[in-house]
Each structure stands twice: as structure tokens, then as C-alpha cells.
Structure 1
């Protein structure tokens, strides 16, 4: 009987290790495999090349904001989806490079799957080769907005900023974008399913 008990304890310990418990919960390192989505074949992410802190995970997170709120920490490159009970789902993100940073409070006005990307006129001015997409680049695996986009509006209307996927998984944890918040496609799909239109978004 004692041997059986020891076996069960060892098995539970191994399962916990595989689940990848972190500060307050589970790390979803196994969730970055290839997957079909709306007719597209998302490639597997070489997640071992992404620093572990940027893997999707449930963490302890104390905040007075209500569940469903999204809090973006641009300095640490984390996005938190508040879950309540002192916990949040945390995702690694890429943020705006120097000169393109932004912060403030907004709300999700729209959500789109495999969205069209239309480069702003100012971006086309900096990168004339993007002029071919002046009328919009259709959604797809090479589209800069990735698999999902959540559109941020404030009292003044469309901020021009998005929470969106990216095919450039190696930009996560870095300041490389033109101001939008980038996420690994598998992560933005997960966030898209959790976040409601009208949800509060705090970028700091």
C-alpha cells in the first residue's frame, strides 16, 4: 500500500511539472502548435525560442479593475486579462518602438477575425513600398494584423491602435511596432475568445 501511495504522489508531481505551474497558475507552453483556423493553417511557433516569461500563463494579479478588463504593461511587455479572484491570464507582447509609444484608456469597439490591414498614410510615406496596400491588404498568414484584431476606441473615436496578432513571433518581448500591441497568433486567438466588445483596455 505504501508503494502504491508513493507512486501516486510521484505521478501527481510529474503531472504538475508538465503543466508548468508558475506564479499563481499554469503556463500554456504546449498551446503553440500548428492549427487550422478559418481555412488558414497557422504554423507552429518555436516557443522554446521565446523567453519563458512571455508564454501564456495564469498569474497572481491584484487589481481593483473588474474581470474582463485588459491591462497592458508596455515596460515589461505583458498583457493581462483580468480573471478575478486575484488572477489574470498573462500574455507576452511586442510594443511600439521609440517615438511610437502610447498609453491611455480605451475600449474594444470591434473584433475581427483575419482582418484587413490598411497602412496609414504616414506609414506609406515612410515605407513607399506599402502603397500597394493603400486600399487594404486582405487577411492572411502574411498580414501584419495576424489572425485577430481588437480595435481600440476612446471618447475621441478610433485611436488607430489595435491589439492584434503577428506572424513575427520573434518580435514578442521587444519594442518594434508602430504603436500597436502585437501578440503571437495563438495568443491573440485565445484573448479574442475571452474579451468582449466594450471591454476596458488600460495601456500604461
Structure 2
């Protein structure tokens, strides 16, 4: 299922498209977001919108790469500067995903673990986000239009929730960018893939310039 706003706009434009013989490019011009989506992946309780990967810089497409870091297999490593997330594998390899990260001054760095996992999670703003934008809604149910997307990995230090997440996004154009409120964004199909590969307790290292702390 495509995000609701995309479906409504496309449906609204369908009769006009037939009358005026407009092709997909003209329909996409009515709703630029729609051009990013090419189908869906079955999931519950919502299907996952699939992104046209030709629109993603090849650097940020999911792929298996050589990895020479010291981390143990199963570790998640996020490189803020490169906008890349690595899931370390055996034999000197890693699954690499493109991500979006926090804008200047908002990115979290350090070592944490996956304290819990969520499927189509509900979203709520942090106190800092509300202080910066008092008009933000205080909560939003999970779904295709939810900012957390299809899955979320909640980062904890011991028993303390850091309030930072690795999660999906309904803004695929933000992958490779530095524009979030601090969390790590992934394409929805990528965060589903990562979610299925890692258990609660997985170590997560978020760094920049090779350092885990500023």
C-alpha cells in the first residue's frame, strides 16, 4: 500500500490523466512523492512501500561490502559522516545500508544496544522537539505516514532509553542527508531487512571520523 497521501492524489488525478492522456511523468508532477514508489512488499498490518532504487545514489543502496573494522560480527556500526550503516558479518564483510542522520548539532554519537524493537511503531516527539516546534502533534499511530516507518530499533545504554532510534522513513529522499532530529533513518524495506537480522541486545556503535565519541 502506498502512503495514503500518494494514493489519494493519484486517484484524484486518474480521470484527468485519462481525459488528457497524461503519462506517469505528468501524474508524478501532481504529487512528486509518488515518483519515488514502485510497488509494495507484503507486511502486517500494512504493506511496505517500495522505493525506486534508481533514484537512490548507488552508494546508499543496500549491498554487501568488504569490512576491515575491529567490531565483532553482529555489531551495527553507523558512520554519521558517510551516512552509512554497517551490519558486520563474518569473513571480513558487512551488509551496508544508506541512512539519513541528524542535522548539525542533533546527531547522537556513542555506544548503545538495541533495547527493544517495534513493528510499525507509534511516534511521539521528544521534549526538545516540542520546545523547538510547539505545534507538533503529541503522538501518531503507526502506519505508512508515520515518521518512524515500518520498523524501529530503540537504542539503550543499560536500562536507560537514549531516545534515539534507527527507524524507517516516509521521506526516502532524506537518505544520504543530514536533516533528522538526531535519529538514524533508513528506507522502509532496508529497516525491515535489518530488523529481521538483529536481536534485542545487539551492540550499536554510532561514530564520526572513526571515533565513537566527540
Runs of 4+ deviating beyond 2 Å: 41-44
Aligned alpha-carbon RMSD (Å): 1.3
Residues 1:173 and 2:173 are matched in the alignment:
no
Give the CA deviation at 1:44. Answer: 2.6
Paired residues of 2:50 and 2:189 also in contact (CA < 8 A): no
TM-score by length of structure 2 reads 0.76
Alignment of 1:97-116 (within 5 A): 97-116=103-122
Give the CA deviation at 1:64. Answer: 2.3
Output one character per residue of 1:104-129: Cα deviation in whole Å (capped at 9) or x when no partner: 00000100100011111221222222
Output one character per residue of 1:57-81: Cα deviation in whole Å (capped at 9) or x when no partner: 0000012221110000010010000
Paired residues of 2:49 and 2:188 also in contact (CA < 8 A): no
Alignment of 1:179-190 (within 5 A): 179-190=182-193
> Which residue pairs with 1:93 in the alignment?
99
Paired residues of 1:172 and 1:183 also in contact (CA < 8 A): yes
> Which residue pairs with 1:158 in the alignment?
161
> Which residue pairs with 1:75 in the alignment?
81
Output one character per residue of 1:3-55: Cα deviation in whole Å (capped at 9) or x when no partner: xxxxxxxxxxxxxxxxxxxxxxxxxxxxx852121031322312111101100
Give the CA deviation at 1:137. Answer: 1.1
Distance 1:44 1:190 in 2: 13
> Which residue pairs with 1:60 in the alignment?
66
Q: How many residues align?
A: 170
| Larger proportion of strand | 1
Give the CA deviation at 1:193. Answer: 0.4
Moved more, 38-47 or 186-195: 38-47
